[in-house]
């Protein structure tokens, strides 16, 4: 090779390099431009202005903690202690958790060394570590305080309202009432509600301790009270999970059963008539194109809300997908096996059963199982639209915008459910492929 | 083997038949259990549904017929309606495109972080794998609904929700592809002192780009459908308009029909387009 040749080669190589470089940077520039356009089209700036970040704080703190309210009505002097301020979480009169001392003077331990005392005469005394004591009192129709002229950063005070925010607790006094919130880690009443005799007892005590309810055994009683918990509805949640899995199961396998015979009609080697073949292929394309959202809407009108509608929506959509996938698998089978069966004088059905099915079943079953997992997720979403399963519970809990601990609970359950289905379908697929290769 | 050679043909046949019978029995039993599960599941679903299967079956065509007949009466308005809802379709497509782009980028990084031979921190590989499992397991609707609470309705919650799921799903597929990439370019780049990012971008990415692109296109098809569904729960785009038109009921079925048509057309068009491009990509990488 001469020097001139090498020079030419280098020139052409660097031209190629430059072109590739240009193409690479052009692609990058295109992506950046598109994202800039999208940021403009989605109105990101306006969105950031409209976002309610306090909602995010509420969501984050409420999902892993709960608060207990201690409330005194100033007119009647009545004191109410309730978890999350809910009726179902209210302690009966005369009962209180151990961090509250009842009597003429109600002592509330606020945690972190702070204490609040509700004295007669609508006076509230606070002991705050690192600060000292403070006194709030209702005088006439105003609230007086002795914080002095310069308020600490954690106090906001006016004549009509004094609010003291402490780590893990909050005290608010208005002319009508005094409210104390104390925050705790965890989900309130998750195991037992207050009316259950097992509330406040540990696992060891329930398993091995003396009988807490004379009418029934501890384990059976505790299981029953947990199962019928009126705040968390464990029974309904379990049913909802079952419904969602049922939708995915019925939809996926129903679709596989419906698509299998139809796939023969859309495969080139089994249906030589192109009119029939083309017709079935277009039907599959149409079903897939209409999409599960529209099928869900149409079917919900006919069958009403519930798991059957969701199952049928998945079934119809996936019949289209499976029909396409199965017919492609059928076109790729080995024709020799079918010839062999034919030579024994078998009819079309027997040829399909002994010549075709053994070849495609492992492939198809693996596909179907793969869809089972993804359909569990779809069933959650479809359930939110048709009104069935855990998807419905999730949207309902979100729409009330207050029970974020329930939302967190459902999310954890959904993730566990999907992961379990993923694991199960993976195991079954592995077993199937192992058996298939063992032949 | 020698035992078999001396055994009488009848014994071999008997043992084969016994084997066959056992196989058929197990197969039949499995089929029976499956059929029973299907029947029981169907019965349960039917009982818990608001309307029964048999009651609803003859009503299946009512709603489409209602929509179609009203749309037919107003067929003169249809082109106008199609134009009216075109921007919403574009928004849905934008949601799908942006979330696929973002998800593919995040998925690429996650994939490289979770391949033992390529990861910069080999000890963290299981961590990133579990992270991807978790990201895949969370349905889009969960994140979308939470973000709608914070950010308000609109396309951005849908983008983030779909991108999150896409990153997990594509990350897994990408890592399976990149695992089989040739290590020599990476070693060569390492020998001239390239940093980890450079080794990945210049050594691995060019090898796997066609497969990555093919998976990303497939994901885009899926995400167009997902963004339409998320619109239905309040995250903007054509799904949101469809919900509005639907809940209005008769009188706006013309709008509903136009939206159906747009959505159907878009899904079919993008399926065909991406299928064509993917076939070319795969064939190109083979030669």
Pair A115, A169 in one domain: yes
Q: Is residue A3 part of a domain?
A: no
One domain, residues A322 and A383: yes
What is the DSSP code (8-state) at residue B119? -
Same domain, B10 and B114: no
pLDDT for residue A244: 93
- The answer to whether A296 touches B225, Cβ cutoff 8 Å, is no
Note whether B139 contacts A246, CB cutoff 8 Å. Answer: no
**pLDDT attached to residue B271:** 86
Q: Verify that A204 and A291 share a domain, yes or no.
A: no
ipTM: 0.83
Note whether A180 and A109 are within 8 A (CB): no
Range of the domain at B28: 2-57
DSSP code per residue over A59-90:
HHHHTTEEEEEEEEETTT--EEEEETT-GGGB
Measured between CA atoms, the residue of chain A closest to residue B102 is A35
Q: Determine whether B14 is exposed, middle or buried from the number of CB atoms within 10 Å of its CB (0-12, 13-18, 19+).
A: exposed
Q: Which domain holds residue A207?
A: 189-232
Predicted local confidence at residue B285, as pLDDT: 52
Q: Are residues A277 and A420 in the same domain?
A: yes
* Residue A133 in domain: yes
Q: Average pLDDT of chain B? A: 87
Residue B9 clears pLDDT 60, i.e. is over it = yes
The CA distance from B216 to the nearest CA of chain A, in Å, is: 14
Q: Which residue is listed with tokens 């709030």?
A: A136
Contact B138, A415 (CB under 8 A): yes
Is there a single domain that holds both residue A249 and residue A225? no
Q: How confident is the model at residue B287 (pLDDT cuts 50, 70, 90)?
A: very low
- Regarding whether B162 and B28 lie in a shared domain, the answer is no
DSSP, res B76: G
Least confident of A151-155, B7-11, B188-192: B7-11
Residue B33 and residue B95 in one domain: no
Closest CA to A256 of A160, A360, A354, A183: A360
Sequence-distant (6+) residues with CB within 8 A of A216 are: A224
Q: Does residue B1 carry a pLDDT above 50?
A: no
Q: What CATH number does the domain containing A357 carry?
A: 1.10.3720.10
Same domain, B53 and B78: no
Is the domain of B109 the same as that of B161? yes
Q: Is residue A385 part of a domain?
A: yes
Residues B183 and B119 grouped into a single domain: yes
| Domains contained in chain A, number | 3
For A201-259, how does the pLDDT look when each residue is reduced to its tens digit (9 = 90+)? Answer: 777 777 777 777 777 777 777 777 778 777 778 888 999 999 999 999 999 999 999 99
- Render the burial of A23-50: b for 16+ CB within 10 Å, e for the rest: eeeeeeeeeeeeeeebeeebeeeebeee
> Are residue A345 and residue A432 in the same domain, yes or no?
yes
Specify whether A333 is located in the same domain as A415: yes
pLDDT, one tens digit per residue, over A342-369 is: 899 888 888 888 888 888 888 888 889 8
Domain co-membership, A173 together with A274: no
Q: What is the pLDDT of residue A434?
A: 66
pLDDT tens digits, residue range B88-123?
A: 999 999 999 999 999 999 999 999 999 988 888 889
**Token pair recorded at residue A205:** 């005590």
Residue of chain A nearest B87, judged by CA positions? A41
Domain membership flag for residue A289? yes
Tens of pLDDT along B258-282?
A: 888 899 899 889 888 888 888 888 7
Residue A253 CA to residue A244 CA, distance in Å, equals 14
**Are A175 and A247 in the same domain?**
no
Per-residue confidence (pLDDT) for residue B158, from 0 to 100: 92
Same domain, B25 and B80: no
Asked if residue B128 has pLDDT above 60, the reply is yes
For residues A422 and A348, state if they share a domain.
yes
Residue B85 and residue B194 in one domain: yes
Residue A249 included in any domain: yes
The answer to whether A162 touches A205, Cβ cutoff 8 Å, is no
Check residue A435 and give its pLDDT: 57
A246 contacts A311 by C-beta, under 8 angstroms: yes
Residue at A17 is within a domain: no
Examine the domain organization and report whether A256 and A224 are in the same domain. Answer: no
Residues B157, A156: Cα–Cα separation, whole Å: 35
Cα–Cα distances (Å) from A202 to A88, A101, A207, A239, B286, in that order, read 21, 22, 9, 27, 64
The verdict on a CB contact (< 8 Å) between B45 and A43 is no
Measured in angstroms, the CA of B34 and the nearest CA of chain A are apart by 10
Contacts of B101 in chain A (CB under 8 A): 31, 34-35
pLDDT at site B125: 92
Please identify every stretch of chain A with a pLDDT value under 70, giving residue numbers as ranges. 1-4, 194, 402, 434-439
Interface probe with B: pick from A51, A235, A303, most Cβ of B within 10 Å: A303
Contacts of B270 in chain A (CB under 8 A): none
């Amino acid at each position: 090779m001469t020097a001139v040749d090498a020079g030419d080669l280098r020139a052409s190589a660097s031209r190629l390099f430059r072109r590739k470089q240009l193409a690479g940077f052009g692609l990058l520039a295109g992506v950046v431009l598109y994202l800039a356009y999208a940021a403009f089209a989605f109105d990101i700036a306006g969105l950031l202005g409209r976002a309610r970040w306090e909602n995010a704080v509420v969501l984050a703190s409420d999902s892993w903690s709960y608060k207990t309210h201690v409330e005194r009505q100033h007119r009647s002097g009545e004191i109410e202690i309730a978890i999350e301020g809910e009726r179902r979480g209210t302690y009966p009169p005369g009962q209180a958790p151990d961090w509250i001392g009842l009597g003429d003077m109600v002592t509330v331990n606020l945690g972190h060394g702070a204490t609040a005392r509700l004295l007669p005469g609508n006076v509230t005394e606070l002991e705050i570590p690192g600060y000292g004591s403070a006194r709030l009192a209702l005088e006439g129709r105003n609230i007086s305080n002795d914080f002095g002229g310069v308020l600490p950063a954690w106090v906001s005070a006016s004549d009509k309202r004094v609010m003291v925010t402490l780590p893990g607790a909050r005290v608010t006094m208005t002319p009508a009432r005094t409210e104390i919130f104390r925050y705790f880690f965890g989900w309130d009443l998750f195991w037992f509600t207050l009316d259950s005799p097992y509330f406040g007892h540990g696992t060891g005590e329930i398993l091995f301790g003396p009988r807490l309810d004379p009418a029934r055994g501890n384990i059976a009683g505790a299981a029953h009270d947990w199962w019928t918990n009126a705040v968390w509805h464990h029974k309904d949640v379990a049913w909802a999970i079952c419904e969602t899995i049922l939708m995915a199961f019925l939809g996926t396998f129903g679709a596989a059963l419906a698509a299998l015979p139809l796939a023969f009609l859309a495969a080139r080697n089994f249906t030589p008539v192109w009119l029939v073949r083309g017709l079935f292929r277009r039907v599959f394309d149409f079903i897939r194109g209409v999409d599960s959202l529209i099928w869900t809407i149409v079917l919900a009108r006919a069958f009403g809300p519930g798991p059957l509608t969701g199952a049928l929506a998945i079934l119809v959509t996936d019949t289209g997908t499976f029909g396409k996938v199965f017919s492609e698998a059928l076109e790729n089978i080995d024709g020799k096996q079918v010839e062999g069966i034919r030579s024994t004088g078998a009819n079309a059905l027997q040829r399909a059963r002994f010549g075709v099915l053994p070849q495609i079943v492992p492939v198809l079953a693996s596909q179907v199982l793969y869809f089972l997992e993804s359909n569990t997720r779809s069933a959650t979403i479809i359930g939110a639209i048709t009104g069935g399963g855990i998807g419905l519970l999730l949207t309902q809990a979100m729409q009330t915008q207050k029970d974020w601990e329930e939302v967190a609970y459902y999310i954890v359950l959904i993730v566990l459910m999907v992961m379990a289905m993923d694991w199960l379908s993976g195991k079954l697929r592995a077993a199937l492929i192992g058996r298939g290769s063992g032949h | 083997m020698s035992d078999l050679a001396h055994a009488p043909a009848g014994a071999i046949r008997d043992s084969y038949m016994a084997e066959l019978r056992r196989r058929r029995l197990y197969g039949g039993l499995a089929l029976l259990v499956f059929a029973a599960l299907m029947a029981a599941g169907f019965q349960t679903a039917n009982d818990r549904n608001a309307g029964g299967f048999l009651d609803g079956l003859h009503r299946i065509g009512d709603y489409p017929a209602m929509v179609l007949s009203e749309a037919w009466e107003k067929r003169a308005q249809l082109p106008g309606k199609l134009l009216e809802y075109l921007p919403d379709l574009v928004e849905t497509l934008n949601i799908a495109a942006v979330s696929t782009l973002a998800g593919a980028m995040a998925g690429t990084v996650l994939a490289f972080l979770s391949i033992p031979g390529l990861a910069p921190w080999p000890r963290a590989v299981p961590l990133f794998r579990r992270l991807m499992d978790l990201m895949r397991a969370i349905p889009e609707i969960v994140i979308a609904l939470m973000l709608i609470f914070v950010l308000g309705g609109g396309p951005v919650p849908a983008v983030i929700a779909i991108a999150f799921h896409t990153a997990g799903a594509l990350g897994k597929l990408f890592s399976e592809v990149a695992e089989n990439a040739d290590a020599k370019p990476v070693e060569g780049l390492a020998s001239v002192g390239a940093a980890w990012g450079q080794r990945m971008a210049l050594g691995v990415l060019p090898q796997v780009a066609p497969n990555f692109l093919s998976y990303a296109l497939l994901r885009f098809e899926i995400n167009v459908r997902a963004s339409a569904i998320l619109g239905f729960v309040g995250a903007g785009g054509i799904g949101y308009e469809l919900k509005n038109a639907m809940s209005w009921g008769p009188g706006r079925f013309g709008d509903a029909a136009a939206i159906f048509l747009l959505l159907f057309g878009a899904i079919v068009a993008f399926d065909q387009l991406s299928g064509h491009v993917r076939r070319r990509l795969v064939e190109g990488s083979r030669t």
